[in-house]
Each structure stands twice: as C-alpha cells, then as structure tokens.
Structure 1
Amino acid sequence: MSSLGLDRPETGDDAVVPFTLDKLDTRGRSVRLGDALDTILNRHSYPAPVARLLGEAVVLAALIGSSLKFEGRFIMQTQTDGPVNLIVVDFDAPDGLRGYARFDHDALVKAAESGRTKPGELLGKGHLAMTIDQGPHTERYQGIVALDGHSLEEVAHTYFMQSEQIPTMVRLAVAEITRKGDHRPHWRAGGVLIQHLPESGISRQIDLPGDGNYEELDEADGWSEAKALLTTLEDLELADPDLSPERLLFRLYHETGVRVFSPLPMVERCTCSADRIEEMLADSFSAEDREEMAVDGQIEVVCEFCSTAYHFNPHQFGVKH
C-alpha cells in the first residue's frame, strides 16, 4: 500500500473512486461492483447474456451518476428492437443503484444459437436516453443517442461528444466468479471512465449543422496517451476481486502519475414504496379502473426492479375530487 502513497485503506467492492491524471489533462472515475450488482442480477435470474448486458449498464450508470453534485436521480434507459428490448437503470444520488432488463426469450435463444450475443447484438437498433431528474419544481434534462448495433462503451463515447462535447472513453467488464468456499458463482463488474478536461483548451471540437454529428480536431497528446493506456486494460483486471481500484489505476498510469480521491460507496437500493404506489394508483386511475385491476378483492403491484409485491384494497382510495 505504501507504493500507492495512500493515507487510507485500499477500496474494495461497491464503490466509485474518482481520480485525475494531471499531466495528461484527464479526469476519471473507476467503479468496482460486487454484492450490489450480484443482488440486482440474481433477483430476476437473468440468462447469462442478459445479466452481463444489464451489468454493463449498471456500471455505466454508476460511473456517470456518481458525478452528480446534487440530490436527484440519473436514469439510463434503452429501448430497442433486439432480444434485450428494454433496460432501465436508476442511480439515486448519492449512492443508490437499481436496474431491470426486459428480453424476448425466443429471440434470445435464436441469438445464442447463431452466436450473436455481444452487447451491441443483443441491444439491436433503437435509442439510449440519459435523464437527470433533480426532483420536484425542476425541469428534467435528457440526452438521447441512437443505438445501432454498437456496445455501451461506444455509445457512451458518442453520447458525451454529441450531448456534452467532452471527449470520453469508457471500459466496462462483467464476470461471474466462483471463489473457494462459495456455494455459487457471484456476479461482479468493474469500469473506468476517463474524460479530457474541457477547460484545458488543448483539443477542439466543432459542431456540424443538421444532424448533431461532430468532428475532432487536433487531439491533445496527453488525451491520446490516456486513451492508449486504457486500451491495455483487460476485462479480468476490471473484475478481479483481488485488485483494488487504486492498484488498477496505478498499474495503468504510474508512469504519468495518478491522483486518487476518497471513494464514493455504492449500494443496491430500490426507491419503491407502498406510499408511492398508493399515490400512483389514486392519481392515475379511476375507481372503475382499480376495480378491474383487483383479483380476489386485492390489487397487486409488483416492482419490476426489486420484485417486492404490494397489495391494496380497491376501495381504500376514497373519492377523487
């Protein structure tokens, strides 16, 4: 640990570690997810290809959402025509993660039989929306980018260039690992996001009119080096339970220097509640609608994220005025 120059213990699972590469005019975040991700993925017993894709989305949401400087939610959602036709990941600032995927079983089987189970192939064509919700009395900010058979890593790069005009590179990895004494494999994942500091003024981008495309000009040497070093990172390193984020970053960037900051803990947490669902049923549905929803005198609502079942009497809502 002394070789890293840390004044604290190295970070374990379920945390984001912010860092800067000052000599390369680059900032970034590294995330490592263990039990939090395992809980999210095992709750629905997803097939392995779906679990890996959702895991990548959860890692990406943690990397982006953890940069929020206010209380609120960061919501990442894909809607596509592929075997995995919907993914929703919520980051509830400052530390809560939940995620859900919907897939077509028959389409997934066909994709597996033909060997088309890469993330971009499972997603297919559609769009990815990233939404920042700062709560009541504020406007939501939403950025949308097309999905056209590309991975979430590639899509994140395009999103930041088109929506934020920030040169960005992302690495994501998800794995099932069985350790000695475990009764089953456990899902875990890691990711690194780096961004060229916009205030450095070294690289320039220009907008092209009409379609939101962009062109890069005069890429800075420091940014090129930061990206090149990140490409050497192996998936197993990102998901290795014995390799802390600090040691991973030191392994990548020790020659140029890396400065790490205090970790930000991540937890699996669903934001559903009986009160919220009761309010939704009262405000969005008529008494007749609620009567039709009832089975054996009870309305059952199951949270798609955490699978918690809530039960209501259709007559408990009173009369809407």
Structure 2
Amino acid sequence: MAEAAAALGEFDFAGDDHVVPFQVEGLDVRGRAVQLGPMLDAILERHNYPAPVARLLAEVIALTVLLGTSLKFEGKFTVQTKSDGPVDLLVADFTTPENVRAYARFDQTLLDEAVAAGSIEPEQLLGKGMLAFTIDQGKFSQPYQGIVALDGATLEDIAGTYFRQSEQIPTRVRLAAAELLDRDEQGKPRHRWRAGGLVAQFLPEAPERMRQADLHGGDGDEGTVKHAEDDAWAEARSLVETIHADELTDPQVGVERLLFRLFHERGVRVYEPREVFDRCSCSREKIKGVLKGFSAEEIEASQEEGKIAVTCEFCSTTYRFEAEELAQAAE
C-alpha cells in the first residue's frame, strides 16, 4: 500500500479511472475502491458489445482492476470466465503498474433468446462453468491460478468465495456497472458506460481473529458453530453490504464520498490513488514472433494475396505481414 495517506478532504478527489486504497484502522480493514469511466468506454465501444455483454465485461474489468492493483511485483493479473451460457468467455488482465485490457465472446443467437426471455442477469448469461484468477510474474516463475465454480451466483459473490476458499482472508467484494444516457457540454445526447467496485478485507494483527464463522453442516448437523465471526469484521461487512449499485457508478458520488459514508464513524484513511489505462500488450514484434513458429504449410494457408493479417481480439489492432518474410523463417 502506498505510504502517503490522508484523511478525507486533505487532497483532491481521485476521480474516474483511479483506484483508491483505503484503511479503516478501527475495524482492521483494508481495501480498494474504484469508479471507471473514460477508460471503460474506450474498451467497450471498440467492440460495440450488446448492452448485456458490455455490462458483464464492465464488472469483470472493475474486479480485475481492484485486485490487480494490489500486486507488489511486476507481473500480470488475469480474471477469466469460461462457461456454457450465451456469454461463454470473459477475460480481463491487468499488467503492472497500470495497463488494462479486456475481451468478451458471446453467441448472438443464444444472447437474443436470453434477452427475449428476460434472462439477462449475470448468472443467467454466464451459465455453468468456472472463474479463474491467474497471477503471472514472468518467464522465471510459475503462474499461480485459483479456480472457482460459476454456480449461479453473482460475480461479486463468486469473488468472495474465491477469497474464502483460496486465500482464507475474510473479504467482501461489491461490483456494479451502468449504462448512462446524458448530454455533453454542447447539449448533444451521448452514451457512456460506468463501472465501480470496492473490495474490503479483514487483516488484523492477530491472525487467529481472521477465522471466519463455521458454516452449518446441513440437514442432520446437530453441532454448534465453533467460531463466531469477529465483531470488527461483522461490522465492516455489514457496512459494505449497505452499498447501493448507484453509489458505485454515480459520477457525483465518487469513491471518497462513499468511503466516508461507510466508515466515517471509525475513521477511514485514503492513500494515493493509482490511475489505470486502456493499454493492450500486443505489438507487431510479438505477433511476428508467434507467426514465425508456423510451418510453411500453415503460412501458406493463412495468407491472402501474399499477405497475412492478424487482428488482436483485445484492442482490434490489425497487423499485416508479407507472407514471404514469414515463409523464409519457417524453412
């Protein structure tokens, strides 16, 4: 966490596309909050996603930014879903220190059927599958991956399940996305996307306080709960659960105002915000390196009029190569 900290009001509000770390010392809680605006618009409008798909991807981007900015090393953090629903793939990655990219894949026919039936909740569009969190520190280390089942819950609930099962840190995640229609400075109608999120974690100095309440064993379980939820975390979690979706996306609220509403009685401190950007990691050199691994037959099959064109699914940039230079490398 950044060293520079201040009580609310001691420096300007962060604004859109800035992740704000925070700490509530009275509750032993740390976390991050964000509102995404122009950066999110750039990613979503590039692909002209249908609204239900754009809303889902916006939540995944907010989640990725919240968790990726916690990395203390150079690397990449990726959130990816793979499922059997109309939206069968969502992927967003954060490359330290500030770069974000994202992509969604969907079946238009299945999506149209879902919309006609009114089945547009995130869990309905995703269906059954898995959500994977991957941390990659580069070629000299083994990537770490945690996987959680998509079981009909919301993305924020599934993220909470991941932390409970994998990290064993009491965590509450809130996510929201919204489509806004308003007017610009000249009074012309405009369309914008916004997303917001907050993650709060219970990190007391005494590790034994991090124990979470035991889950009931189901039918026939006559036992009693062995571990009660820590009072400080119970209070923090209850406060976070009062967040309305509008508060996470409303540009007039801002994350600092939201944090003040939630935790002012306990004394919340915010740290230096971290700006995030819509930047893809693709390049002509990287694409050429991949193509050089193709066989002569594969290069022949991929070319059209002596050229090979490759379009990045994330940023939609198209790279064109002369088939001859690639064929020479494959010989």
Give the TM-score normalised by structure 2.
0.90
Q: Does the residue aligned with 1:143 lie in a helix, a strand or coil?
A: strand
Q: Distance in 1 between matches of 2:329 and 2:57?
A: 41
Q: Distance in 2 between matches of 1:216 and 1:16?
A: 37
1:133 to 129, 133, 136: 136
Aligned pairs for 1:66-145 (under 5 A) are: 66-145=69-148
Letter in 2 for 1:175: A
Check 1:216–1:319 CA distance in 2 against 1; reply closer, same or farther (3 A cut). farther
Q: CA deviation at 1:183?
A: 3.5
1:262 to 228, 253, 272: 272
2:42 aligned with 1:39:
yes
Q: CA deviation at 1:180?
A: 3.0
Letter in 2 for 1:266: V
2:197 aligned with 1:191:
yes
Letter in 2 for 1:136: K
Letter in 1 for 2:136: D
1:247 to 257, 271, 291: 257
Q: What's the CA shift string for 1:280-321, capped at 9, x where partnerless?
A: 1112x1121011100121111110011111111122132348
Q: Does the residue aligned with 1:280 lie in a helix, a strand or coil?
A: helix
Q: Does the residue aligned with 1:179 lie in a helix, a strand or coil?
A: strand
1:311 to 299, 320, 324: 320
Q: CA deviation at 1:119?
A: 0.7
2:20 aligned with 1:17:
yes
Q: Distance in 1 between matches of 2:152 and 2:262?
A: 29
Aligned pairs for 1:286-301 (under 5 A) are: 286-301=295-310
Letter in 1 for 2:91: V
Q: Does the residue aligned with 2:134 lie in a helix, a strand or coil?
A: strand
Q: Does the residue aligned with 1:77 lie in a helix, a strand or coil?
A: strand
Q: Distance in 2 between matches of 1:216 and 1:65?
A: 34
Letter in 2 for 1:286: S
Q: Is the 8 A contact 1:205 1:216 kept in 2?
A: no
Identity score, percent: 52
Check 1:90–1:5 CA distance in 2 against 1; reply closer, same or farther (3 A cut). closer
Q: Is the 8 A contact 1:17 1:260 kept in 2?
A: yes
CA RMSD in angstroms, aligned pairs only: 1.9
Q: Does the residue aligned with 1:272 lie in a helix, a strand or coil?
A: coil
Q: Does the residue aligned with 1:30 lie in a helix, a strand or coil?
A: strand
Q: CA deviation at 1:207?
A: 10
Q: CA deviation at 1:98?
A: 0.7
Q: Is the 8 A contact 1:25 1:200 kept in 2?
A: no
Match of 2:180 in 1: 177
Letter in 1 for 2:17: D
1:156 to 156, 159, 164: 159
- Unaligned residue ranges in structure 2 (runs of 5+): 1-5, 216-224
2:228 aligned with 1:218:
yes
Check 1:107–1:216 CA distance in 2 against 1; reply closer, same or farther (3 A cut). farther
Q: Is the 8 A contact 1:63 1:192 kept in 2?
A: yes
Q: CA deviation at 1:112?
A: 1.0
Q: Is the 8 A contact 1:65 1:91 kept in 2?
A: yes
Q: Distance in 2 between matches of 1:205 and 1:161?
A: 9
Q: Distance in 2 between matches of 1:241 and 1:79?
A: 32
Q: Is the 8 A contact 1:120 1:149 kept in 2?
A: yes
Match of 1:6 in 2: 9
- Unaligned residue ranges in structure 1 (runs of 5+): 209-214
